[in-house]
Structure 1
Amino acid sequence: MSIEVKNITKFYKDQKALNNVSFSIKKGEIVGFLGPNGAGKSTMMKIITGFITPSEGDVLVCDYNIKTNKLNVQKHIGYFPEHNPLYLEMYVKEYLLFNASIYKIPKIEVEKIIKKVGLTSEADKKIKQLSKGYRQRVGLAAALLHNPDVLILDEPTTGLDPNQLIEIRSLIKEIGKNKTVLFSTHIMQEVDAICNRVILINKGQIIADENLVELKKNQEQIIEVEFDFRIEKQFIKTIPNLKSADNIHDTSWILTFNTTKDMRPAVFDFAHDNGLKTLKINTKNKNLESLFQELIPN
Structure 2
Amino acid sequence: MIEVEGLNKWFGDTHAVDDISFSVKKGEVLGFLGPNGAGKTTTLRILTCYLLPNSGSARIAGHDIFTESTAIRKRLGYLAEESPLYHDMNALDYLRFIAEVHGIPASERSSAVSRVVKLCGIDSMKHKDIAELSRGFRQRVGLAQTMIHDPDILFLDEPTSGLDPNQIAEIRRLITEIGREKTVVLSTHRLEDVSLTCTRVIIINQGKLVADAPPDRLQAEFTAKSKLRLSVRGPRAEVADAFGGIEGVKSVLALPEGSDKSFARFEVVPEGEADVAEALFCAVRDKGWTMNELVTERASLEDVFRRLTIDAKQEAE
Unaligned runs of 5+ in 1: 224-231, 235-244, 257-283
* 2:302 paired with 1:289: yes
Secondary structure at 1:172's aligned position in 2? helix
* Contact 1:199–1:209 (8 Å) recurs in 2: yes
Letter in 2 for 1:70: S
Separation in 2, partners of 1:90, 1:15: 43
1:153 is matched with which residue? 156
Secondary structure at 1:58's aligned position in 2? strand
Letter in 2 for 1:41: K
1:6 is matched with which residue? 5
Unaligned runs of 5+ in 2: 234-251, 260-264, 269-296, 312-317
* 2:141 paired with 1:142: no
* Contact 1:21–1:206 (8 Å) recurs in 2: yes
Structure 1 residues 246 and 190: alpha-carbon distance in aligned structure 2, compared to 1, 3 A threshold: farther
1:238 is matched with which residue? none
Separation in 2, partners of 1:198, 1:160: 23
Secondary structure at 1:296's aligned position in 2? helix
The correspondence for 2:215, drawn from 201, 212, 217, is 212
1:17 is matched with which residue? 16
TM-score using structure 1 length: 0.76
* Contact 1:37–1:186 (8 Å) recurs in 2: no
Query: Larger deviation: 246-255 or 45-54?
Result: 246-255
Separation in 2, partners of 1:29, 1:182: 8
* 2:117 paired with 1:114: yes
Shift of 1:171: 0.5
Shift of 1:290: 2.7
Structure 1 residues 169 and 247: alpha-carbon distance in aligned structure 2, compared to 1, 3 A threshold: farther
1:87 is matched with which residue? 86
Structure 1 residues 204 and 107: alpha-carbon distance in aligned structure 2, compared to 1, 3 A threshold: same
Separation in 1, partners of 2:183, 2:124: 28
* Contact 1:9–1:19 (8 Å) recurs in 2: yes
Structure 2 counterparts to residues 1-298 of structure 1, below 5 A: 2-105=1-104, 106-215=109-218, 220=223, 234=233, 248=255, 286-297=299-310
Shift of 1:29: 0.8
**What is the alpha-carbon root mean square deviation over aligned residues?**
2.9
Letter in 1 for 2:155: I
TM-score using structure 2 length: 0.72
Structure 1 residues 52 and 83: alpha-carbon distance in aligned structure 2, compared to 1, 3 A threshold: farther
Letter in 1 for 2:195: D
* Contact 2:219–2:304 (8 Å) recurs in 1: no
Secondary structure at 1:90's aligned position in 2? coil
Shift of 1:214: 3.0
* Contact 2:220–2:298 (8 Å) recurs in 1: no
Q: What are the Cα deviations for residues 127-159 of structure 1, in whole angstroms up to 9, with x where unaligned? A: 222222111111110111111111111111111
Structure 1 residues 27 and 167: alpha-carbon distance in aligned structure 2, compared to 1, 3 A threshold: same
Separation in 1, partners of 2:149, 2:167: 25
Query: Larger deviation: 287-296 or 138-147?
Result: 287-296
* Contact 2:79–2:142 (8 Å) recurs in 1: yes
Query: Larger deviation: 11-20 or 151-160?
Result: 11-20
Shift of 1:295: 1.2
Shift of 1:191: 0.9
Separation in 1, partners of 2:221, 2:193: 21
* Contact 1:45–1:154 (8 Å) recurs in 2: no
User: Based on CA coordinates, which of the two structures has the bigger radius of gyration?
Assistant: 2
Separation in 2, partners of 1:290, 1:171: 27
Structure 1 residues 178 and 9: alpha-carbon distance in aligned structure 2, compared to 1, 3 A threshold: same
2:289 is matched with which residue? none
* Contact 1:197–1:210 (8 Å) recurs in 2: yes
Separation in 1, partners of 2:44, 2:164: 25
Secondary structure at 1:84's aligned position in 2? coil
Letter in 2 for 1:12: F
Structure 1 residues 289 and 64: alpha-carbon distance in aligned structure 2, compared to 1, 3 A threshold: same
Letter in 1 for 2:73: Q
Shift of 1:104: 2.9
Identity of aligned residues (%): 41
Structure 1 residues 285 and 139: alpha-carbon distance in aligned structure 2, compared to 1, 3 A threshold: farther
Aligned residue-pair number: 254
Shift of 1:254: 8.7
Q: What are the Cα deviations for residues 276-295 of structure 1, in whole angstroms up to 9, with x where unaligned? A: xxxxxxxx851523321211
